[in-house]
Amino acid sequence: MTDHRLEPTPDTVHWGFFDATLQPVLTVASGASVTIRTVSGGADVIPPASAGLAVLPEHRTIVETLKPVLPGHILTGPVAIEGAMPGDVLEVRIEDVRLIQDWGWNANRPLRGSLPHRFPDGRLLQIPINRNAMTATCPWGSVVPLRPFFGVMGVSPRPSYGRVSTIEPREYGGNIDNRELIAGTKLFLPVFVPGALFSTGDGHACQGDGEVNLTALETALEGDFTFVLHKGRSLPRPRAVTPTHLITMAFDPDLDDAATRALEDMIDLLGAVAGLAANDAYALCSLACDLHITQLVDGNKGVHAMLPFDVLPQVEQAAIPGF
C-alpha cells in the first residue's frame, strides 16, 4: 500500500509546460510512497465511439476542460518533497507501473520525427492493448510485447528558465523517454527549487530506443513511486540504477555532445561508486559500457550509457544510497 494517491483531474495536472512557480498539488515527506495516475494526449488522439475502445472519464474531462499552455504532455503533479532544496538530489524509486486502459496511440506529425522529409503528412494510429497477455497488435499484424514506463519524469527547472515546454528533456529530467526506467529502477534527479516539485506523465506501453517516428505507444498509466531525499548530493544531470546496470543520461541538440556528456558522467560515477581512476573508468567503458540513443525526436536528443554491475563485483545496487 502507498501512503498517498494522486488522480489526474483539471486541478492536479499541468499541460504542456514546466514552471518553477507551479504550486504543489501534494506535499509528502521523504520516504513516502505515492500512487500517481496519468493520461496521455489531447482530444485529437481519443478514438471515436465506433472504434470500441473505452476512454477513461478523467481523460475526457481534462481535454474538455483544459487547453495546453505550451505544446507538450499532460503531467500529473507537481508533488513537493518536504525539506528538498536546490543542490539536493531526489531519488525516485519506481516501485510498479500498471497499464490502466486497453488502447494506446502512436503518431508522427508533419515536420516532426526522425524522417519528416519522407513522411510529411503525419499519421495517427489507435492500437488495442491486451493487458492480460501484455501485448499490442498493430494494424499490419505485428504483435509487440509491452514494457510500460513513464516517458516524462522530472522536477521543476531552474527559476531562471521561466515557463518551458515539456517536450525537451533537460538536466531536470522531464521528457527523458528512457525505456529502461521500468518498475524496479531508481531515477536520481538534481533539485533546483524548494520542494523539488516532481511531475510525471507521457505513459508508454512500449518504445524502442530512438522513439523514431515521434511517439511511443502512448497510453494511460498508474505508477507507485517512493521519494527519497538526499541532502547535499548535487548532480549535473539525471542518473539511474536498475537491478543490473548503472545508467547516466545526457541531452543536447547535437547527438555527439549528448554522448560525450553521458560518457563523462559515467566515468565520474565510476570514480564515485567504485573508486576507479578516470583512465581506468574510461578503459572499462570502452570494454563494457553500452551507449544507447534514448530518443532522436524531442529537440534535445538523448543518449544513455549503461554499465552492468557484474563488471564491478564490489558494487551492488543496494550499496548506492544516492549519487
Three cell numbers, residue 3: 501512503
Residue 317 confidence (pLDDT)? 63
The total number of residues written for the chain in this structure:
323
Residue 318 confidence (pLDDT)? 59
Tell me the whole-structure pTM to 2 decimals. 0.96
Residue 315 confidence (pLDDT)? 75
Q: What is the pLDDT of residues 114-144, one digit of tens each?
A: 999 999 999 999 999 999 999 999 999 999 9
Closest CA to 311 of 283, 292, 272, 279: 283
Residue 1 confidence (pLDDT)? 73
User: Which of helix, strand or coil describes residue 219?
Assistant: coil
Q: How many CA atoms lie within 13 A of 323 on its CB side?
A: 28
Three cell numbers, residue 131: 493487458
Residue 187 confidence (pLDDT)? 98
Q: What is the pLDDT of residues 46-98, one digit of tens each?
A: 999 888 999 999 999 999 999 999 999 999 999 999 999 999 999 999 999 99
Ranges of the chain whose pLDDT falls below 70:
316-323
Residue 313 confidence (pLDDT)? 77
- Distant-in-sequence, close-in-space partners of 44: CB < 8 Å, separation ≥ 6: 124
- Mean pLDDT (the chain) is 96
| Domains of the chain, first to last | 4-230 (2.60.120.580), 242-317 (3.10.28.20)
Residue 267 confidence (pLDDT)? 98
Q: Which residue has the cell 499519421?
A: 123
Distances (CA, A) of 256 to 37, 228, 260, 301: 35, 33, 6, 9
